[in-house]
C-alpha cells in the first residue's frame, strides 16, 4: 500500500519531500567503486575495460578492437521485423522534426559604440551515447540521443551499450544502424563512461557524454564531468500523474505502472483532489500487478516508492513545483489551466489522451529528462547539449576610443597593468590597429 499524503496534514511539505527523497541516497560504496573503476580504466585502458566487462557482463571483448563488427549490426537489421523497422523510422523522423525546431541562430549586432558583438553556435566534434541495457533494452534511447546529436551537427558518434552474456539486442543495433552509428562498443557501466571520457587504445575520447544509466553510470558521469561534458546526472525514473474523475482510474493505474516497471527504484505518484477516486486507482494498480509481465519489478517500485497525494485543484501547481517531476501527466479537465502554474517539470503530457508512453517513443520531444528534482534548474536532452556558443567582439578605432579608456581604468583598479597597457598602447597608435 503506497503512502497517502493530504494537503491539510501537519508538515505536508516535509512529508512530500521525504516521499520523493527515498530513492535518491547514494551509498559511499558506489562512489568508491566508481572511482576505482575510473582509475583502472585511466591506467590500463583496453585491458581494464575487457576485464571489467567480463566481470560485470559475462562476455569477453576482442583484445585489439572492442568495436562491434558491421556483420553483427547488419545481421541484427536483417533479423528485425519489417514493421518494427518502419516504426523506428517513424519515431526517428518525428524526433528529428522536433529537434530541428530547436536549432539556435547565430546573432550579430552593432554594439552602440561603432563596433559589433556576435555569438555563433558550433557542435562538438564527438559525442558518446550511453544506451542502457540492464533491466530492459531501449532502442528508443538510441534514437533520442543520436538524432539530437545529428541535428546539432555532431560528426562522430560513439555508442556504448551493455550486452549481458554477450547477446546483443537486435532492435537496439537496428536503431543504431538507422541513425548511421558505426562506432558501437558492447560495454556498459562506469567503465563505459570512463572509456568514452578518457579514451583507451581502442576508443578515442569524446567531448560530450549523454544518455541515462544506473547509479554507477550516473556517478561516473558526476566524477568525470570536467574531463568531458555531460547532459545530466540522472537518477531513477519518475512520473507524477495528476488526474481527476474524467480519467478512468484503470488508465491512471496503468500510467503509474508504466513508470514503475522500469526498475525497483522508479517512482510513481498520483496527485488528485478526490479520495474515492484515489482509492479506485490504488485498487486498480493492485489488480494490474497480477497480470503485468514485469509485475515483480513494478510491484516493488510501487510499494516502496509509490505515493498518493490528495490536494485541492487550486494547490496542484504548488505541489507539482515542489516535486519537480521528470514526467508530469496532466490527465485532467482543462489541463492548460494547471500547466500555466507549472515552473518545474522535465516534460508535461497534456490531457487525458496523452500518455507519457507516447512521449517515450514517438511524440517528438526528447525522453532523456531531469530527475530527482533537478527540473528546478535543468532541462531535458536537446540539441543544446551537443552545441556550444562562442562570442565575438570587434572593435574599430571609433569604438576603441570609447571603450578603451574605461577598460584601462578598470584594469588599473584590479591591479592588472598589462591589461591596461594593452589597451593604452592601441589608443596611442590607432593607425596600426
* Beta strand extents in 300-406 (DSSP E only): 307-310, 327-331, 347-350, 387-394
User: Which among 168, 180, 158 has a CA at the least distance from the CA of 96?
Assistant: 180
For 99-109, what is each residue's pLDDT tens digit? 999 999 999 99
Q: What is the pLDDT of residue 62?
A: 78
Task: Please tell me the distance from the alpha carbon of residue 371 to that of residue 388, in angstroms, as a whole number.
Answer: 23
Q: What is the pLDDT of residue 65?
A: 74
Classify strands 238-243 and 183-185 as parallel, antiparallel or unpaired. Answer: unpaired
User: Which among 357, 428, 369, 361 has a CA at the least distance from the CA of 89?
Assistant: 361
Helix (H, G, I), strand (E, B) or coil at 182: coil
Place of cell 570536467: 226
Task: Please tell me the distance from the alpha carbon of residue 315 to that of residue 338, in angstroms, as a whole number.
Answer: 9
Does the pLDDT value for residue 26 go beyond 90? Answer: no
Is 326 catalytic? The answer is: yes
- How many CA atoms within 13 Å lie on the side-chain side of 17? 6
Answer yes or no: are the C-beta atoms of 172 and 138 closer than 8 Å: yes
Helix (H, G, I), strand (E, B) or coil at 7: coil
Answer yes or no: are the C-beta atoms of 207 and 229 closer than 8 Å: yes
Is 344 catalytic? The answer is: no
Task: Please tell me the distance from the alpha carbon of residue 92 to that of residue 90, in angstroms, as a whole number.
Answer: 6
> Could you give all domains of the chain from N- to C-terminal order, each with its CATH number?
3-24+236-363 (3.40.50.1980), 28-234 (3.40.50.1980), 395-432 (no CATH)
For 350-396, what is each residue's pLDDT tens digit? 999 999 999 999 999 999 999 999 999 999 999 999 999 999 999 99
- How many CA atoms within 13 Å lie on the side-chain side of 161? 29
Catalytic, out of 99, 177, 327, 344: 327
Q: What is the pLDDT of residue 61?
A: 87
Does the pLDDT value for residue 429 go beyond 70? Answer: no
| Phi, psi for 360 (deg, rounded to 5) | -65, -30
Q: At what angle do helices 28-44 and 46-57 cross, to 10 degrees?
A: 140
Catalytic, out of 183, 326, 329, 356: 326
Report residue 433's pLDDT band, with 50, 70 and 90 as the boundaries: very low
For 213-261, what is each residue's pLDDT tens digit? 989 999 999 999 999 999 999 889 999 999 999 999 999 999 999 999 9
Amino acid at each position: 500500500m503506497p503512502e497517502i499524503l493530504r494537503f491539510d496534514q501537519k508538515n505536508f511539505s516535509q512529508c512530500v519531500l521525504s516521499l520523493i527523497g527515498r530513492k535518491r541516497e547514494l551509498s559511499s560504496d558506489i562512489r568508491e567503486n566508481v572511482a576505482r573503476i575510473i582509475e583502472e580504466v585511466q591506467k590500463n585502458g583496453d585491458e581494464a575495460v575487457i576485464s571489467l566487462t567480463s566481470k560485470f557482463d559475462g562476455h569477453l571483448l576482442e583484445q585489439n578492437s572492442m568495436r562491434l563488427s558491421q556483420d553483427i549490426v547488419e545481421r541484427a537489421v536483417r533479423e528485425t521485423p519489417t514493421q518494427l523497422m518502419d516504426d523506428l523510422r517513424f519515431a526517428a523522423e518525428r524526433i528529428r522534426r522536433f529537434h530541428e525546431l530547436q536549432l539556435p541562430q547565430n546573432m550579430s549586432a552593432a554594439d552602440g559604440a561603432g563596433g559589433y558583438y556576435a555569438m555563433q553556435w558550433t557542435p562538438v566534434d564527438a559525442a558518446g551515447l550511453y544506451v542502457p541495457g540492464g533491466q530492459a533494452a531501449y532502442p528508443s534511447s538510441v534514437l533520442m540521443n543520436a538524432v539530437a546529436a545529428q541535428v546539432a551537427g555532431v560528426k562522430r558518434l560513439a555508442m556504448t551499450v551493455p550486452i549481458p552474456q554477450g547477446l546483443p539486442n537486435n532492435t537496439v543495433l537496428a536503431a543504431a544502424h538507422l541513425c548511421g552509428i558505426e562506432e558501437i562498443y558492447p560495454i556498459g557501466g562506469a567503465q563505459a563512461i570512463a572509456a568514452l571520457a578518457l579514451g583507451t587504445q581502442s576508443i578515442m575520447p569524446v567531448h560530450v557524454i549523454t544518455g541515462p544509466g544506473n547509479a554507477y553510470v550516473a556517478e561516473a558521469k558526476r566524477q568525470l564531468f570536467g574531463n568531458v561534458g555531460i547532459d545530466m546526472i540522472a537518477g531513477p525514473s519518475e512520473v507524477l500523474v495528476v488526474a481527476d474523475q474524467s480519467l478512468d482510474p484503470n488508465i491512471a493505474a496503468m500510467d503509474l505502472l508504466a513508470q514503475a516497471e522500469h526498475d525497483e527504484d522508479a517512482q510513481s505518484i498520483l496527485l488528485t483532489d478526490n479520495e474515492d477516486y484515489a482509492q479506485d486507482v490504488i485498487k486498480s494498480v493492485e489488480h494490474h500487478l497480477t497480470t503485468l509481465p514485469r509485475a515483480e519489478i513494478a510491484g516493488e517500485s510501487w510499494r516502496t516508492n509509490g505515493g498518493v497525494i490528495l490536494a485541492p485543484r487550486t494547490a496542484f501547481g504548488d505541489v507539482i513545483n515542489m516535486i519537480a517531476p521528470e514526467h508530469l501527466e496532466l490527465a485532467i479537465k482543462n489541463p492548460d489551466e494547471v500547466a500555466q502554474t507549472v515552473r518545474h517539470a522535465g516534460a508535461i503530457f497534456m490531457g487525458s489522451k496523452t500518455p507519457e508512453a507516447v512521449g517515450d517513443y514517438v511524440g517528438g520531444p526528447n525522453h532523456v529528462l531531469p530527475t530527482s528534482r533537478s527540473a528546478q534548474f535543468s532541462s531535458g536532452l536537446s540539441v543544446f547539449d551537443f552545441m556550444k556558443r562562442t562570442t565575438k567582439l570587434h572593435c574599430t578605432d571609433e569604438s576603441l576610443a570609447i571603450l578603451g579608456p574605461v577598460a584601462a581604468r578598470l584594469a588599473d583598479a584590479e591591479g592588472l597593468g598589462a591589461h591596461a597597457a594593452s589597451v593604452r598602447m592601441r589608443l596611442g597608435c590607432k593607425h596600426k590597429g
